[in-house]
Amino acid sequence: NRYKHLVTSQILSEDVYPSVTVKGQEARFVFHPDYLERIQLVLPQVELSAKLDERVVAAMAAKIAAMPVPRMDLTKWLADDAKAWPFQLQGIDFCTRQLLDTGHAVGENDGLGLGKTLICALSMLRAMDKRPRTAGPVLVLTTNSGKWAWAKIFRKLMPGVTFEVVDGTPTQRVAQINADVQFVLANVAVVRGVFVSRKDGNVLQRLNKDAIWQPKNPEIFARDWAGYIFDESHKFRNASA
Outline where the chain has alpha helix (H): 2-6, 33-42, 54-65, 86-102, 116-130, 144-157, 170-177, 218-222
Q: What confidence score (pLDDT) does residue 77 get?
A: 93
Query: Given this model, what pLDDT does residue 90 score?
Result: 85
According to DSSP, residue 110 is labeled: -
State residue 171's pLDDT score.
92
Mean pLDDT, range 131-147, rounded to an integer: 85
Taking only the tens place, the pLDDT of each residue in 147-158 is: 999 999 999 999
- The secondary structure of residue 45, as a DSSP letter, is G
Task: Tell how far CA 23 is from the center of its chain.
Answer: 20
Q: Measured over all CA atoms, what is the biggest interatomic distance in the chain, rounded to whole angstroms?
A: 72
pLDDT for 211 equals 85
Sheet of strand 163-165: strand arrangement: 163-165, 183-187, 138-142, 227-230
Q: What does residue 98 show for φ and ψ, rounded to 5 degrees? A: -65, -45
CA distance 201 to 196: 5
To the nearest whole percent, how much of the chain has pLDDT over 70?
A: 72
Element (H, E) at 228: strand 227-230
pLDDT at residue 11, as a whole number: 45
Q: Are strands 183-187 and 211-215 parallel, antiparallel or unpaired?
A: unpaired
**Better-predicted residue by pLDDT, 241 or 108:** 108
Give the tens place of pLDDT for each residue, 41-81: 555 554 444 455 677 767 766 776 677 788 888 989 999 88
Dist CA 26 CA 96 (whole Å): 13
CA distances from 136 to 46, 100, 227 (A): 43, 17, 9
120 in Cβ contact with 229 (< 8 Å) = yes
Average pLDDT of span 207-235: 85
**Which amino acid appears at position 37 of this protein?**
E
Q: What is the mean pLDDT of the chain?
A: 77
For 127-140, what is the mean pLDDT?
82
pLDDT digits (tens, 9 = 90+) for 70-112: 888 898 999 988 888 888 888 898 889 888 887 668 888 777 7
Residues 34 and 104: their CA atoms lie apart, in Å, by: 30
What amino acid occupies position 98?
Answer: Q
The per-residue pLDDT for range 158-168, each reduced to its tens digit, is: 999 999 999 99
pLDDT band for position 19 (cuts 50, 70, 90): very low
Contact 114, 88 (CB under 8 A): yes
Reported as a pLDDT band with limits 50, 70 and 90, residue 124 is very high
The mean pLDDT of 28-47, rounded to a whole number, is 52
Q: How many other C-beta atoms are found inside a 10 Å radius of the C-beta of residue 17?
A: 13
Query: Residue 133: what pLDDT?
Result: 63
Provide the residue count of the chain. 241
Could you give the CA distance from residue 32 to residue 66 in angstroms, rounded to a whole number? 10
pLDDT of residue 184: 96
